Amino acid sequence: MVTLNPYLNFPDNAREAMEFYHSVFGGELTTSTFAEFGAAEDPADAQKIMHSQLESGSITLMGADTPSSLTFPGTNSNISVSLSGGPDDDATLRGYWDKLAEGGTIAQPLEVAPWGDAFGMLEDRYGTTWLVNIGGAGSPG
């Protein structure tokens, strides 16, 4: 089976960010440093995260720090992470939304959209853009 999942880049705070996402989504978080992989060309990179992976049900989120030999790509990109589900997932998705919004910036409040689903968009405290869509959550008012 082929899977597609987001892989997030961080300037130097991947551990903190991935632990935050672990607090949001639960599941199992694994992390490995550049030193653990024997890949710390610059001693300053030794304790940076070379790879982390969060597995929680159908959610797989990966992330890493940017080593000093590369330029951090920044967070302003054409990619967003989307969470979606149906009416039965409403409470779960709203719980994720509330946690991701803590310390972040809401671009579009989570409310019923013209197409009848509840939809919202935010940038979390780590600069990642999240879209949340709850299908069949209502109809335009």
CA distance 5 to 98: 22
Assign domain 81-134 to its CATH superfamily.
2,3-Dihydroxybiphenyl 1,2-Dioxygenase, domain 1 (3.10.180.10)
**Residue 16 corresponds to which amino acid?**
E
Contacts of 51 (CB under 8 A, 6+ apart): 31, 32, 37, 62, 64
Name the nearest CA neighbour of 47 among 61, 59, 64: 64
pLDDT along the chain (141 residues), means of 10: 88 96 98 91 90 96 89 72 95 98 97 94 95 76 38
Strand 28-33, strand 49-56: pairing: antiparallel
Does domain 7-65 sit in CATH 3.10.180.10? Answer: yes
pLDDT of residue 73: 67
Structure token pair of residue 20:
């935050």
pLDDT of residue 46: 93
pLDDT of residue 140: 43
Q: Give yes or no on whether 7-65 and 81-134 have one common fold.
A: yes
Where do the structural domains in the chain lie, given as residue ranges? 7-65, 81-134
Report yes or no: 97 and 132 within 8 Å, Cβ to Cβ: yes
Structure token pair of residue 70:
């590369």
Could you tell me the sign of the dihedral formed by the alpha carbons of 34, 35, 36, 39, in that order?
positive
pLDDT of residue 24: 98
